[in-house]
Structure 1
Amino acid sequence: MLFSDIVGFTSICSTATPFMVISMLEMLYKDFDEFCGFFDVYKVETIGDAYCVASGLHRAGIYDAHKVAWMALRMIDACSKHNTHDGQHIKMRIGIHTGTVLAGVVGRKMPRYCLFGHNVTIANKFESGSVECKINISPTTKNWLIKHDDYNNFDLHARDPSCLPKEYTNAEGTCYFLEGYSHPTVECDAKVEHHIEAAMNQINETN
């Protein structure tokens, strides 16, 4: 699961017209929605500036954590190409956590596919514990990312264990900032999107 929000969104709204805010979110989230299709991840919801996706719900696989991590990197990169109404780059903070959830369609009016459980709360806490332009991942997500030798070239930087959410009851490990990804078949100085595209193409060819 991935949770994200825009840093300083309340301040942005206080100096922008409603149309400016909607236009900004529309341009940015249009890119994010396209990423969902490319990585085959499920868009759970958007609430205000919060954007949430999950992988492994509609089609489980061994690379679900990878797809969400790659999408997070693409999201951070996309933010650098979009501006607020006053010309500043949009800055997001992102949190990712891997775990089991209860999922299903609930209600009669506008029924929605919803996620429930402690791990949903934990994923949200990893987002709130992140900082601007950073992707904060949980120990369980990190363990999934390094499981497969062909796709474990993630640039991970360990954080102090005190940065773990207090609600995270697993005492082992710490959280990490996900800084980048490199694919062995792509030149090191190529854009991150090219590295990620190569990895996705390789996965699609083997499935």
Structure 2
Amino acid sequence: MRIGLHTGLVLAGVVGVKMPRYCLIGNDVSLANKFESGSIAMHINVSPTTHRLLVHTEGFRFEARPREHLPEGFPEHIKGTCHFLKGFFHPKLDPAEPLDVHIRKAQRELRMDASQTWLA
């Protein structure tokens, strides 16, 4: 299994009447797919855009990859490189605690507001 994460704009909706399907459309969706296909098994490949947002949240650990690992078509004006997400440990918990305990604590604290602008 491979995972690719990218942050950007998306058009989402149900397409079709006879066999309706929920579709995600847009260049950023294609880029996320390229980050997935450019990853390696059992790794989460994070775009520079997503890394820039997550790196300010304490607890995420990343491993930088060379810029040549960016997918074809990634905008050249965006600085940085892709990273592998290596883990998450809540800074207020003992690292020996199970991962799900760290994640649940972070979810309770972050309570992401859907109206918050993350790209500003």
TM over 0.5: yes
* C-alpha distance in 2 between matches for 1:184 and 1:118: 35
* C-alpha distance in 1 between matches for 2:99 and 2:48: 23
The partner residue of 1:173 within 70, 80, 85 is: 80
Instruction: Name which structure has the greater RCO, CA cutoff 8 Å, separation 6+.
Output: 2
Alignment of 1:98-137 (within 5 A): 98-137=7-46
Is 1:200 the counterpart of 2:107? The answer is: yes
- 1:70 aligns with none
Letter in 1 for 2:71: P
Is 1:186 the counterpart of 2:93? The answer is: yes
> Which SS does the other structure have where 2:35 is aligned?
helix
| Sequence identity percentage | 48
* C-alpha distance in 1 between matches for 2:58 and 2:17: 43
- Scaled by the length of structure 2, the TM-score of the pair is 0.85
Q: Give the structure with the higher percent helix.
A: 1
Across the aligned residues of Structure 1 and Structure 2, the Cα RMSD in angstroms comes to 1.6
* C-alpha distance in 2 between matches for 1:182 and 1:175: 21
- Scaled by the length of structure 1, the TM-score of the pair is 0.51
Q: How many residues align?
A: 112
Q: Report if aligned partners of 2:61, 2:87 keep a CA contact under 8 Å in 1.
A: yes
Query: 1:144 Cα deviation (Å)?
Result: 1.2
User: Which portions of structure 1, spanning 4 or more consecutive aligned residues, are displaced by more than 2 angstroms?
Assistant: none
* C-alpha distance in 1 between matches for 2:67 and 2:89: 26
- 2:69 aligns with 163
